[in-house]
Amino acid sequence: MEAPSAAWASARLDRLVDPGRPIRYGIVQPGEYDPNGRFMIRGQDYSAARGWADPRDVFRVSPTVEARYRNARVRAGDLIITIVGAGTGHVEMVPMWLDGANLTQTTARVSISPDSADPSYCRYVLQSEIGRRQVATYVKGAAQPGLNVGDVKSFVVPLPTAHEQKAIARVLEDVDQLIHVLAKQCAKKQAMKTGMVQELLTGRRRLPGFSARWKPRALGELLAYEQPSRYLVSSTDYTNNGTPVLTAGKTFLLGYTTEQDGIFSSVPVIIFDDFTTASKLVAFPFKAKSSAMKMLSARPGVNLRFVYERMQLID
């Protein structure tokens, strides 16, 4: 990302907040869940991938505990930043339904004063590479990364005119809204596909022009089976490029290797885990990690994609 325009001013984050509501974290020991208590925002309640959690999943803290930290309450439109854990540095804007909520000590409130800067513009700056670079500069710890409030106060925000800040924020908000609409459409299409897969691959629904009875076949008649012995990686000291090293489980891609021998290249192929029965369809050359992973290739006249999709429906 290019550096901000040299004509723009800049300011520390602590100079942009409401003086009466400084940057701070929240409740240190929340105690037990109180169904009638006040919402308490945790880092796990928001993410870039899924947005905000369902209100039913957000912790509620008792009035007795919360009252001691009332100065940490947030308002709709405030920014919050994760300061402890894997999500350190992630920034979101507080929605209306969390107006008046409190925070944990792993999350900090940043109450941008509209007289100093546009809050939505500041959110996008902090979510951008500009913000991520500053997080990387200050973050401490590896197993449990974190920032302190002093670090957050030191973040610098480039500041065009107020009019341009609002214009930038408006454009980015429009893009976010479009992404949200497209994501909902994709989710709907994915649900439709899932239903169609169930119907079409089990023969419960037939396509126009097809009425012949299906004949059950054993997988051994459809797929050839190969042991991975010749394709096992010698070293698990993986690199960032080279030939992919695969597993059939959830991890799928373990890393890359520069080893030149024993690369499986007869793709496409199904990789199958003997222990978990997990499988993946692979269309690129690779090496294997475990002897538990087998390669299943289509026999002549067999559509490998169809067989793979049908395998996913086996209980």
pLDDT digits (tens, 9 = 90+) for 110-162: 999 999 999 999 999 999 999 999 999 999 987 789 999 999 999 999 999 99
Q: pLDDT tens-digit profile of 90-111?
A: 999 999 999 999 999 999 999 9
**pLDDT tens-digit map of 232-244:** 999 989 988 899 9
Phi-psi label, residue 277: left if phi above 0, alpha if psi -120 to 50, beta otherwise: left
pLDDT of res. 3: 55
pLDDT in the model for residue 141: 84
| Per-residue pLDDT band at 194 (split at 50, 70, 90) | confident
Nearest to 245 by CA among 237, 276, 304: 237
Examine the pLDDT at 49 and tell me if it is beyond 70: yes
CB 294 within 8 A of CB 228: yes
pLDDT band at 275 (very low <50, low <70, confident <90, very high): confident
Separation between Cα atoms, residue 151 and residue 134, nearest integer Å: 9
Query: What is the per-residue pLDDT for 1?
Result: 45
Mean of the pLDDT values across residues 230-255? 91
Element (H, E) at 271: strand 269-273
Q: To 5 degrees, how large is the angle CA 292–CA 293–CA 299?
A: 130
Share the mean pLDDT of the chain: 93
Return the residue matching tokens 């999500």: 87
User: Is 70 exceeded by the pLDDT of residue 6?
Assistant: no
Contact between residue 139 and residue 145 where contact means Cβ atoms under 8 Å apart:
yes
- Per-residue pLDDT of 17-35, as tens digits, reads 999 999 999 999 999 999 9
| Continuous segment of H or E residues that includes residue 288 | strand 287-288
Q: Are 131 and 34 in contact (CB under 8 A)?
A: no
* DSSP secondary structure letter of residue 35: T
Average pLDDT over residues 223-231: 94
Q: At what angle do helices 119-127 and 129-138 cross, to 10 degrees?
A: 60
Phi-psi region of 141 (alpha: psi -120 to 50; beta: other; left: phi over 0): left
For residue 271, count CB atoms less than 10 angstroms from its CB and return exposed for 0-12, middle for 13-18, buried for 19 or more. buried
Give the contacts of 72 (CB within 8 A, at least 6 positions apart): 24, 25, 26, 27, 102, 103, 109
Going along 216-265, which residue ranges are E strands?
A: 223-226, 243-246, 253-257
Length of the chain equals: 315
Q: For position 4, what pLDDT does the model report?
A: 60
Peptide bond into 228 cis (omega under 30): no
